[in-house]
């Protein structure tokens, strides 16, 4: 199995899921015109990964903005990873948010409340 790397655009996030280290990241904006076509390859890759995950999977999410369709899709990804957390492997999420973006922090906390995956909330600052 190869790592999954998708270059980001102004409307789609950079995806870097390293199968060897278990370090995954979703960075940028997620407002694709067709959410399903963008995220379907990610779901397929995750199905294979879940069959043989790393002992520890760390997902870093650092999105500046995402639309409601992407929000549901992110929750679907987190639900898939939650299945890994229910095995002998462990999953945790690092939720990055701009220090002034209370909505992004609140969204992360809402996701955390729906899942059994531990979240760490990390504020970042821009000049």
- What is the number of domains present in the chain? 1
- The residues that bridge with 124 in the sheet, in sequence order, are 98
At 75-122, the pLDDT tens digits run 999 999 998 887 779 999 999 999 999 999 999 999 999 999 999 999
Q: pLDDT digit string (tens) for 19-72?
A: 999 999 999 999 999 999 999 999 999 999 999 999 999 999 999 999 999 999
Tokens 């959410």 belong to 35
The Cα-based distances of 16 to 28, 77, 102, 113, 126 in angstroms read 12, 14, 26, 25, 23
- Residue whose tokens read 């500046």: 64
Domain that residue 52 falls in? 4-124
3-state secondary structure of 89: coil
Return the CATH number at 23.
Answer: 3.30.750.24
Does this model's pTM top 0.75? My answer is yes
């Amino acid at each position: 199995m190869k790592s999954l790397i998708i270059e980001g655009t102004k409307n789609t996030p950079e995806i870097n899921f390293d199968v060897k280290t278990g370090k995954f990241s979703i960075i940028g904006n997620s407002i694709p015109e067709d959410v399903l076509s963008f995220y379907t390859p990610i779901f397929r890759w995750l199905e294979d990964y879940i069959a043989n995950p790393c002992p520890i999977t760390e997902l870093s999410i650092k999105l500046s903005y995402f639309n409601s369709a992407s929000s549901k899709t992110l929750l679907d990804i987190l639900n898939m990873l939650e299945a890994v957390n229910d095995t002998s492997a462990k999953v945790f999420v690092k939720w990055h948010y701009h220090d002034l973006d209370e909505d992004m922090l609140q969204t992360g906390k809402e996701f955390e409340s729906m899942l059994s995956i531990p979240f760490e909330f990390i504020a970042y600052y821009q000049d």
